[in-house]
A and B are shown apart, each in its own frame.
Chain A
Amino acid sequence: MRALKLGVVLMSVAMGASAAEITVSAAASLTNAFKEIGAAYEKEHAGDKVLFNFAASDPLVQQIAKGAPVDVFASADQDAMDKADTLKLLAPASRRNFASNSLVLITPMAATLAIKGIADLQQAGVARVTMGNPASVPVGRYTKHALEQAKLWAAVEPKAIYGASVRQSLDYVARGEVDAGFVYATDAAVMKDKVKVVATVPTETPVSYPIAVIAAGPQAAAGRKFADYVLSSSGQAILAKYGFGRP
């Protein structure tokens, strides 16, 4: 009992000493996995606190470019990270790939239409297909490129309902407001009881996630520790648990 009390006192002293609040802007598809990684990191680094800001990757870049106090940025595609790089937001040599994913076509669990693959989206009965907005959401870009490659973009584009992030698209399908949608395999797994994965969609470029430290971040040093943790075996184990592949 006394030891426990001593531990609490020591911990609060430690917190006062080096309390770093690390702000992490991360792609929406990382929501569940990163929350767990954050909690695990906080346990191992007493005193540090990890704050998350989840959204589509491009708006996150825009926020950082406009001066948002962010220490770490994790994006769902290389495009968004390239934009951050072009804007000179990244700490030198801090960019690394840390996970991979795959693009899947999903339908509501109670769907009545027979959708077995992306070619079926041409059917007249399919009225609405949700995907991320290609202008600002990586999953939308992967989807658009995949459909263009399959020569289906012209047929599917008029049916497109753009989501502001992959999780909005997932929600539209789960609620049955659309006939089908494109999300990552890891997102579909979050709502296993409401959506059905009907096909894995081959992408032109592999779905890979880069992470980097933001040069102007107020806690950039602690941010570097967090990025290292994501790439460590503990971080990778949590990502694998949520279905992410090796980088």
Chain B
Amino acid sequence: MINSFLAEPAWIALRLSLKVACWATLLDLLFGVALGYLLARKRFPGRELLDALLTLPMVMPPTVLGYYLLVVIGRHGVIGAWLQRTFGINLIFTWQAAVIAAAVVAFPLVLKGARAAFETVDTQLEQAARVLGISPFGVFLRVTLPLAWRGVLGGALLAFARSMGEFGATLMVAGSIPGKTQTLSIAVYEAVQAGQDDSANLLVIITSVVCIAVLIAANKLTPNRNPQA
């Protein structure tokens, strides 16, 4: 009973969407925290330009991103051709391509959240820790990050929700292979195209419930609403 339930196309699509969103969020956290910290603390020429460039995926049409990705990581793309030659890796039409698409689209959400969170951390606390003999990296891990984690996590949850909903760029680079790259949002599209309203209904309900849950969690973590809680 449970096994046949888990083999339903809808649940396979849900699991794939969760997997893609988890990996995309992890990647975004890694780069978003590092670059967010850089943008919040370091002064260097072109800082705001870098911020603008990194925020671009949030405002650009997903089709434009999808096309850029296709040109870059496609079999004849700059990076794609190199990966193929060197490692025999072909990213297009794999779930990893879906991760890259989702990570790029959702990246600004983590970056913006992290930058804002780091900017609110009192630098005097960091300086005090330095005076007490903690290494710069230790200060980051033990002082800065703990004070900024709410903002960082809030951004990460929004990025997770955005990754779950990614459609345009994903369809262009990962295609729509059932069980392999057909995420929830793409499964909804396919079901509607084929006139299968029953499965479309089930899929949109699952998507909505997951997204609402993530948004509630993100709201609870929004910084400064109730800092003592």
Q: Which residues of A contact B (CB under 8 A)?
A: 56, 58-59, 61-62, 65, 83, 127-128, 133, 135-136, 160-162, 164, 175-178
Contacts and interface: CB of A to CB of B under 8 A. Distances in A.
B192 interface: yes
B165 to A, nearest CB: 19
The 8 tightest CB contacts between A and B, nearest first, are A135-B194, A136-B194, A136-B193, A59-B193, A62-B195, A177-B92, A161-B175, A176-B75
A30 to B, nearest CB: 18
A84 to B, nearest CB: 11
A58 B196 CA distance: 11
A62 B189 CA distance: 12
Interface of B: 70, 74-76, 90, 92-93, 171, 175-177, 190, 192-196
B190 A177 contact: no
A193 to B, nearest CB: 15
A236 B195 CA distance: 32
B193 A161 contact: no
Contact of A58 (B76, B175, B194): B194
Given A83-B195, A162-B175, A164-B176, 17 more contacts: A58-B194, A59-B192, A62-B192, A62-B195, A133-B193, A135-B190, A136-B190, A136-B193, A136-B194, A136-B195, A161-B175, A175-B75, A176-B75, A177-B74, A177-B75, A177-B92, A177-B93
A177 B193 CA distance: 24
B176 A133 contact: yes
Contacts of B90: 127
B177 A58 contact: no
B193 A62 contact: yes
Contact of B70 (A61, A160, A175): A175
Nearest to B191: A135
Contacts of A58: 193-195
Given A62-B193, A133-B194, A136-B193, A162 B177 contact: yes
A133 B190 contact: yes
A128 B93 contact: yes
Given A135-B190, A175-B75, A175-B76, A161 B195 contact: no
